[in-house]
Chain A
Amino acid sequence: NAGVMQNPRHLVRRRGQEARLRCSPMKGHSHVYWYRQLPEEGLKFMVYLQKENIIDESGMPKERFSAEFPKEGPSILRIQQVVRGDSAAYFCASSREAGVYEQYFGPGTRLTVT
């Protein structure tokens, strides 16, 4: 499968636990974007990363959220001490290179905080 891969597809966490969401971009893509879709709301940009660099994190909540895209391995979105309001669908998208604008989305991770 050459598409964007995300895992897990569904994640249940209790309040106060940590959530780790993983994203592997499409083959040949080096740019990764994370978006969040709250129930009955639109998609909101969170963070844009290239390998080993955070390019734009203007949409990321200041506390509890972090993202990385290491030289080897998938991009990871980490949410510490989850709260019920973090329950949402988290989508990762990837694009090929600078100047190529099309972003392709993965299947998403549905996070439920109980």
Chain B
Amino acid sequence: QKEVEQNSGPLSVPEGAIASLNCTYSDRGSQSFFWYRQYSGKSPELIMFIYSNGDKEDGRFTAQLNKASQYVSLLIRDSQPSDSATYLCAVGPGAQKLVFGQGTRLTINP
């Protein structure tokens, strides 16, 4: 079993709709959870982080964490073509190394 699993996609969503990205992790001791966006040929960009169970909202982005189910998700509301990218889920035991999923390719169709 991979430590951090994501659906590789590609996930195709019409413009203006909600994009839902999911991630599961195997280490129950994980404390920190991140979503990075990576455009082709570029470096990962931190867009959301969450440390406690529940929802965290920032603009069009909402991160959801359920530690009991070992599940973290990212919702993107009012999807825009510029949101088309690969989204990386990362999980950390603390202030140390991050374990990344393989990423989900998201395409927003105009």
Residue numbers of A with Cβ under 8 A of B are 31, 33, 35, 41-45, 48, 55-56, 58-59, 91, 95, 97-108
Interface size on B, residues (CB 8 A): 24
| Nearest residue, chain A, Cβ from B99 | A45
Q: Report chain A residues within 8 Å CB of B49.
A: 101-102
| Nearest residue, chain A, Cβ from B86 | A42
Q: Verify A102–B46 contact, CB threshold 8 A.
A: yes
Q: Verify A101–B45 contact, CB threshold 8 A.
A: no
Q: Verify B46–A101 contact, CB threshold 8 A.
A: no
Contact A42 to B96, CB < 8 A, known contacts A91-B43, A104-B46, A108-B43 = no
**What's the Cα separation between A98 and B96 when bound, in Å?**
9
Q: Verify A101–B94 contact, CB threshold 8 A.
A: yes
* Residue from the list B44, B90, B97, B101 in contact with A48, Cβ < 8 A: B97
Q: Verify A101–B32 contact, CB threshold 8 A.
A: yes
| B61 is an interface residue with CB less than 8 A from chain A | no
Given contacts A31-B95, A41-B102, A106-B43, 15 further A-B contacts (CB under 8 A): A33-B98, A35-B100, A42-B102, A43-B100, A44-B100, A48-B96, A56-B96, A56-B97, A99-B94, A99-B95, A101-B32, A101-B51, A101-B92, A103-B34, A107-B43
